């Protein structure tokens, strides 16, 4: 399948006084799987709907392929149906009064495709989502997971240049969601169509995307590969939003010679920084924990121990300071044990306390 | 460059505005708004204008006037003249007394029954609920006709009623006619309305709220009075106001039970004024009715604080443990049974019995005959009135009734879908709000006054419509307009069921608006359409107040023909007609309910 790039330039969409999408500029490479990630109300769905043509932005431009589909400056706004995109909705939006076959051929009939061609496409698309034989079912005669597959098949049959997905997995139970993630990633891999995927689930974003755009209050905070978004969050919001359990954010003062004073102990950094008020971000899995003192380790008390089979989370306290540490497997540490925490300078990120931006990345 | 840039910089916003204005829901809303202005606002303005200008017929009263010129004559005549007492103040007082009385009794009966059916372990609740709403499907004056059969005394009309025939004692006037029977008979009709509203509220009430009260040690009575009652009080108050407003506009019952003893209310006075060609004076009374209605509904909303709180009464049902009636179970069941017998079975029984009586005043079995059903005209009996089934007049009226009900049902269902589409798709925009508000206006206007409005409006051609007065079509137009609030509500509800993604999915697939409407919206809202159709069908079948001022001998319906018989004192054919109407309505309800599974009870609560 041919692939298409998408360019969004200075896009703004207001609802009343609130800018749901605020001056967003994004370039999406052909064949990319880009996830718009953020908490509810961050504007990710609105941005998707602007691309789809279901909302008319107030300012900016959208190009799909080489085609200008929206431009406030030139007064262009192509109707959704002419943008050649496929959209999968959160609640699937299968027409309940039509069979699977009718659902899938609705748009094809509008394109006036020949019957044989439609049958062929239905057959192929159903096979791709492993739902062969379901053509004559009605949506209510299928489970949620099956309906989800049909919604995908409906989009595939239409053969759009771009796939748009609005939280397609959030109505499924945890188990099915796992399975469908693998299926969706495979589908994208095979079809190769440029995909914009909206979710609030960071695991979905991290596991499936080639690129993640983290959004907050209508503004893209960071757009990068999942790996970079996880390991080098551009600001405190992204650092705090990504990662489970949450990143440890420690406020302190950088003294100018490569260490941060947290009040009752210091953390050594990998490189020197300018002095000032900073926030140190340490991922729970990047902190090592031991039951005996080690050189450079800081003494804490195990406040709570939460084993989860494959890994364990330990909440450790020292005076007012509380840290989360994640270790592989079941930990020997018991509640109220004395523990020693070791920070790995190479894994720490440093943020400016006032701006919240990354000032020092590990090297 | 600047020469070229200027028009293009103008064209940009213009194009954007044009796109916004040509969005389907904006176009639909615009068309609907124009229609509403035409059907609701224009007639109201014409009505007001009529009251403040000299009318040709005023020549009878005042010499040397020029019709069409401004005057406050009619308002002065109604509010401040020697006839004000008989024309306005006494009827107004009577209206308030009867309407408040009806509201109190109807609410008490309806709420009690609703609580018993929704919240207790009373046996046969489903059956009770389905029987209890029957009075509401029938014309409101059915019970008043039955009342006359039983309580009539010799003072009026010569013949006696069942009670006097049975006991030999004369029934006192106050029990035969006037406010007491009006209040009783209309309460037995409107309780069903209160029952529907309050049971809806009780069903949507989360039982856990009550249970947590019980857990904290409250007694049944404390839970009922301190938790349940305060929670449903908005519904009860709304039901009270709506019953009050409807009772004020009802015409048949006060005409049947009030006119014989010169007990007049505003609706009957309005009718009398217009019948005696004092149209402007009648219109002033109509405006008074509308004003009272608007003020009460406004007060209701101020007090409750939730706009149109009755609109959001019915919600999800919660599973709840019913209140155990224990030892009282069967005594209460017997009481409820007796009540339903009095309210539903007995009136129809008496009507049926009297329709079989050959002589008006003999209840003996040997007086029974099918004459007033199937007899040929006989000059010796009832001035030669034929049995209703042999009288061509009946069939003409029945045809008119059914044609009216079907047409109004169809038109309002379709309009309802468009109104719902405009309101739901434009949610949050001022256009959507205006459409919703204006479509609600006819609700505020008592039926008889609303009918009166249309006399003035369609006396001459207006806009695209010719002079409709005296034609069948004016009945259709007025009924469609009066039912707009219901159709817009059911259309909105049906549209809300259809998630916007279902239309958007088709939009993304490239479907045009017509295709989306035809293949997605209409099929998905059709079950709502059927319920809306049935509701309007029944409302139109039983309607009298709305159309009584607009019918002519050729456009008579079963209800107005019945009214004519009753006015002229021919009880038996009137009763037979009422029975016929009851049978038609119940049969239609049964057919639709069994074939589509639509719940008329829910619709009627609207």
* pLDDT 10s digits, B221-241: 777 777 777 778 877 887 888
Supply the ipTM of this predicted assembly: 0.81
Put the strands of the sheet holding A6-15 in their side by side order.
Answer: A18-28, A6-15, A59-64, A67-71, A76-77
Strands A276-282 and A349-352: antiparallel
Write out chain A residues lying below 8 Å of B505, CB-based.
87, 89, 93, 95, 154
**B19 and chain A in contact, CB less than 8 A:** yes
**A111 and chain B in contact, CB less than 8 A:** yes
- pLDDT per residue over A307-344, tens digit each? 998 999 999 999 889 999 999 998 899 999 999 999 99
Which of A155, A110, A105 is CA-nearest to residue A128? A155
Rounded Cα distance, B483 and B321, in Å: 38
Chain mean position to CA A282: 21
Smallest Cβ distance to A93: which of B19, B499, B519? B499
Contact B504 A93 (CB under 8 A): yes
Kindly report whether the peptide bond that precedes residue A245 is cis, defined as omega within 30 degrees of 0. yes
Which of B490, B491, B518, B492 is CA-nearest to residue B503? B518
Smallest Cβ distance to B508: which of A77, A80, A96? A80
Chain mean position to CA B370: 33
The predicted structure's pLDDT at residue B456: 72
- pLDDT per residue over A6-34, tens digit each? 999 999 999 888 999 999 999 999 999 99
Cα of B425 to nearest chain A Cα, Å: 13
Smallest Cβ distance to A97: which of B508, B509, B523? B523
Name the residue of chain B whose CA is nearest to A58's CA: B16
Smallest Cβ distance to B16: which of A75, A82, A158? A75
Name the residue of chain A whose CA is nearest to B515's CA: A110
Rounded Cα distance, A23 and A31, in Å: 24
Q: Which residues of B151-185 are buried (b: 16+ CB within 10 A; e: fewer)?
A: bbbeeeeebbbbbbeeeeeebeeebbbbbbbbbbb
Q: What is the mean pLDDT of residues A266-272?
A: 86
**B524 and chain A in contact, CB less than 8 A:** yes
Cα of B428 to nearest chain A Cα, Å: 11
The predicted structure's pLDDT at residue A14: 93
- Can you list the residues of chain B whose pLDDT is less than 70? 1-13, 156-158, 206-207, 304-321, 382, 462, 595-606
The predicted structure's pLDDT at residue A315: 95
Name the residue of chain B whose CA is nearest to A111's CA: B510
Write out chain B residues lying below 8 Å of A159, CB-based.
none
Name the residue of chain A whose CA is nearest to B14's CA: A75
The residues that bridge with A12 in the sheet, in sequence order, are: A59
Smallest Cβ distance to B507: which of A56, A75, A81? A81
Rounded Cα distance, B399 and A213, in Å: 68
Rounded Cα distance, B66 and B53, in Å: 9
**A-interface mutation test, from B4, B9, B503, B509, most A Cβ less than 10 A away:** B509
**B9 and chain A in contact, CB less than 8 A:** no
Cβ(B232)–Cβ(B198) under 8 Å? yes
Phi, psi angle pair for B106, to nearest 5°: -60, -40
Contact B12 A82 (CB under 8 A): no
**A113 and chain B in contact, CB less than 8 A:** no
Tokens 């450790």, located at residue: A316
Higher pLDDT among residues A252 and B314, named by residue: A252
Q: What is the mean pLDDT of residues A82-86?
A: 89
Grade residue A208 by pLDDT with cuts at 50, 70 and 90. Answer: very high
Write out chain B residues lying below 8 Å of A72, CB-based.
12, 16
Element (H, E) at A136: none
Cβ(B541)–Cβ(B405) under 8 Å? yes
Count the alpha carbons within 13 Å of B140 in the hemisphere toward its beta carbon: 32
- The Cβ of residue A346 has, within 10 Å, a number of other Cβ atoms equal to 11
**B7 and chain A in contact, CB less than 8 A:** no
The predicted structure's pLDDT at residue B89: 94
**B-interface mutation test, from A51, A72, A73, A87, most B Cβ less than 10 A away:** A87
The predicted structure's pLDDT at residue B11: 58
**A336 and chain B in contact, CB less than 8 A:** no
Element (H, E) at B513: helix B513-516
The predicted structure's pLDDT at residue A75: 86
Token pair of B299 as six digits: 């007060």
The predicted structure's pLDDT at residue B154: 77
Phi, psi angle pair for A23, to nearest 5°: 55, 55
Give me Rg for the CA atoms of chain B. 26
Token pair of A162 as six digits: 């771009």
Write out chain A residues lying below 8 Å of B507, CB-based.
53-54, 79-81
Strands A194-199 and A162-166: parallel
Name the residue of chain B whose CA is nearest to A73's CA: B12
B57: CB partners within 8 A, 6+ apart: B277, B278, B279
Higher pLDDT among residues A3 and A135, named by residue: A135
A363: CB partners within 8 A, 6+ apart: A270, A271, A346
Write out chain B residues lying below 8 Å of A54, CB-based.
504, 507-508
Rounded Cα distance, A233 and A165, in Å: 25
Lowest mean pLDDT among A17-21, A58-62, A271-275, B560-564: A271-275
Cβ(A49)–Cβ(A20) under 8 Å? no
Name the residue of chain B whose CA is nearest to A54's CA: B504
**A86 and chain B in contact, CB less than 8 A:** yes
The predicted structure's pLDDT at residue B500: 84
Name the architecture of domain B25-45+87-381+389-605: Orthogonal Bundle (1.10)
**A340 and chain B in contact, CB less than 8 A:** no
Contact B510 A91 (CB under 8 A): no
**A140 and chain B in contact, CB less than 8 A:** no
B234: CB partners within 8 A, 6+ apart: B201, B304, B306, B309
Q: What is the mean pLDDT of residues A116-122?
A: 95
Cβ(B585)–Cβ(B137) under 8 Å? yes
Helix B24-36 to helix B430-444 angle (10° resolution) is 30
B6: CB partners within 8 A, 6+ apart: none
**B206 and chain A in contact, CB less than 8 A:** no
Cβ(A275)–Cβ(A255) under 8 Å? yes
pTM, 2 dp: 0.76
Cβ(A199)–Cβ(A205) under 8 Å? yes
Contact B12 A54 (CB under 8 A): no
Is the pLDDT at A1 greater than 70? The verdict is: no
Cα B234-B186-B541 angle, rounded to 5 deg: 95
Cα of A22 to nearest chain B Cα, Å: 20
The predicted structure's pLDDT at residue B56: 80
The predicted structure's pLDDT at residue A126: 94
Rounded Cα distance, A352 and A235, in Å: 9
A50: CB partners within 8 A, 6+ apart: A11, A13, A21, A56, A57, A62, A70
Chain mean position to CA B57: 32
**A-interface mutation test, from B505, B528, B529, most A Cβ less than 10 A away:** B505
**B-interface mutation test, from A12, A50, A81, A125, most B Cβ less than 10 A away:** A81
Chain mean position to CA A188: 16
User: Domain coordinates of chain B in residue numbers?
Assistant: 25-45+87-381+389-605
Contact B19 A56 (CB under 8 A): yes
- pLDDT per residue over B103-143, tens digit each? 999 999 999 999 898 888 888 888 898 889 888 888 888 88
Cβ(B293)–Cβ(B245) under 8 Å? yes
């Amino acid at each position: 399948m041919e692939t298409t790039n998408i360019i969004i330039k200075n896009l703004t969409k207001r609802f009343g006084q609130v800018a749901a999408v605020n001056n967003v500029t994004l370039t999406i490479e052909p064949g990319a799987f880009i996830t718009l990630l953020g908490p509810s109300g961050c504007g990710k769905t609105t941005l998707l709907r602007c691309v789809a043509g279901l909302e008319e932005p107030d300012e900016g431009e959208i190009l799909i392929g080489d085609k200008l589909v929206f431009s406030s400056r030139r007064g262009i706004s192509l109707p959704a149906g002419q943008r050649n995109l496929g959209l999968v909705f959160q609640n699937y939006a299968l027409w309940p009064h039509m069979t699977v076959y009718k659902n899938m051929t609705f748009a094809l009939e509008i394109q006036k495709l020949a019957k044989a061609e439609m049958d062929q496409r239905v057959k192929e698309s159903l096979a791709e989502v492993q739902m062969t034989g379901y053509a004559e079912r009605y949506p209510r005669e299928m489970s949620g997971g099956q309906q989800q597959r049909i919604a995908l098949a409906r989009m595939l049959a239409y053969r759009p240049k771009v796939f748009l997905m609005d939280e397609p997995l959030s109505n499924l139970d945890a188990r099915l969601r796992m399975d469908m993630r693998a299926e969706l990633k495979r589908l994208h891999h095979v079809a190769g169509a440029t995909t914009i995927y909206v979710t609030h689930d960071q695991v979905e974003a991290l596991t499936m995307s080639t690129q993640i755009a983290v959004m907050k209050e209508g503004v893209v905070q960071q757009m990068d590969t999942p790996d970079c978004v996880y390991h080098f969050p551009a600001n405190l919001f992204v650092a705090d939003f990504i990662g489970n359990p949450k990143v440890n954010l420690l406020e302190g003062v950088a003294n100018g010679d490569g260490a941060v004073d947290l009040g009752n102990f210091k953390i050594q950094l990998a490189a020197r920084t300018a002095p000032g008020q900073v926030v140190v971000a340490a991922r729970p899995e990047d902190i090592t924990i031991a039951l005996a003192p080690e050189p450079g380790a800081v003494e804490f008390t195990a406040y709570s121990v939460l084993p989860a089979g494959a890994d364990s989370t330990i909440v450790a306290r020292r005076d007012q300071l509380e840290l989360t540490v994640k270790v592989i497997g079941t930990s020997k540490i018991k509640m109220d044990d004395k523990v020693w925490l070791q920070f790995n300078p190479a894994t720490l990120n440093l943020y400016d306390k006032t701006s919240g931006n990354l000032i020092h990345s590990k090297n | 460059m600047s020469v070229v840039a200027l028009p293009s910089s103008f064209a940009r916003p213009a194009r954007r505005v044009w796109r916004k204005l040509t969005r389907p829901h904006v176009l639909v809303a615009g068309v609907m708004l124009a229609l509403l202005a035409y059907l609701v606002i224009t007639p109201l303005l014409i009505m007001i204008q009529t009251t403040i200008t000299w009318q040709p017929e005023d020549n009878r009263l005042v010499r040397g006037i020029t019709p069409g010129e401004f005057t406050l004559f009619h308002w002065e005549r109604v509010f401040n003249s020697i006839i004000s007492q008989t024309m306005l103040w006494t009827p107004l007082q009577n209206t308030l007394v009867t309407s408040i009385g009806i509201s109190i009794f109807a609410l008490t009966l309806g709420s009690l029954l609703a609580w018993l059916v929704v919240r207790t372990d009373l046996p046969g609740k489903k059956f009770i609920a389905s029987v209890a709403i029957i009075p509401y499907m029938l014309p409101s004056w059915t019970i008043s006709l039955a009342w006359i059969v039983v309580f009539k005394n010799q003072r009026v009309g010569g013949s006696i009623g069942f009670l006097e025939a049975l006991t030999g004692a004369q029934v006192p006037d106050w029990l035969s006619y006037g406010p007491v029977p009006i209040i009783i008979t209309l309460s037995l009709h409107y309780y069903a309305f209160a029952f529907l509203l309050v049971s809806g509220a009780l069903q949507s009430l989360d039982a856990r709220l009550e249970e947590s009260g019980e857990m904290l040690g409250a007694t049944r009575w404390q839970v009922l009075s301190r938790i349940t009652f305060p929670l449903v009080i908005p519904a009860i108050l709304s039901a009270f106001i709506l019953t009050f407003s409807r009772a004020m506009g009802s015409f048949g019952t006060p005409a049947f039970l009030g006119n014989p003893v010169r007990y007049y209310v505003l609706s009957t006075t309005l009718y009398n004024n217009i019948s005696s060609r004092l149209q402007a004076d009648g219109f002033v009374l109509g405006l008074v009715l509308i004003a009272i209605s608007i003020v009460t509904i406004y007060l209701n909303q101020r007090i409750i604080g939730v706009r149109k709180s009755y609109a959001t009464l019915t919600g999800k049902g919660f599973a709840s443990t019913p209140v155990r009636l224990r030892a009282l179970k069967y005594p209460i069941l017997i009481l409820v049974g007796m009540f339903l017998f009095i309210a539903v079975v007995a009136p129809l029984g008496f009507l049926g019995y009297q329709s079989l009586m050959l002589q008006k005043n003999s209840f003996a079995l040997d007086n029974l005959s099918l004459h007033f059903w199937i007899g040929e005209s006989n000059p010796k009996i009832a001035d030669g009135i034929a049995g209703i089934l042999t009288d061509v007049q009946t069939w003409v009226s029945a045809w008119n009734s059914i044609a009216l009900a079907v047409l109004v049902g169809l038109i309002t269902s379709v309009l309802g879908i468009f109104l719902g589409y405009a309101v739901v798709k434009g949610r949050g925009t001022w256009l959507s709000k205006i459409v919703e508000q204006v479509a609600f206006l006819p609700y505020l206007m008592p039926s008889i006054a609303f009918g009166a409005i249309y006399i003035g409006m369609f006396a001459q051609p207006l806009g695209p419509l010719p002079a409709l007065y005296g034609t069948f079509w004016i009945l259709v137009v007025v009924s469609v307009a009066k039912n707009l609030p219901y159709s817009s509500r059911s259309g909105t509800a049906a549209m809300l069921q259809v998630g916007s993604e279902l239309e958007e999915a088709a939009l993304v697939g490239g479907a045009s608006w017509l295709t989306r409407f035809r293949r997605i919206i209409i099929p998905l809202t059709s079950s709502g359409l059927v319920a809306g159709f049935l509701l309007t069908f029944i409302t139109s079948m039983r309607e009298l107040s709305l159309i009584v001022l607009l019918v002519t001998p050729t456009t008579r319906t079963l209800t107005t023909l019945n009214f004519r018989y009753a006015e002229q004192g021919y009880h038996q054919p009137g009763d037979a007609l009422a029975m016929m109407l009851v049978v038609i309505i119940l049969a239609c309800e049964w057919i639709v309910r069994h074939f589509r599974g639509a719940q008329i009870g829910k619709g009627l609560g609207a």
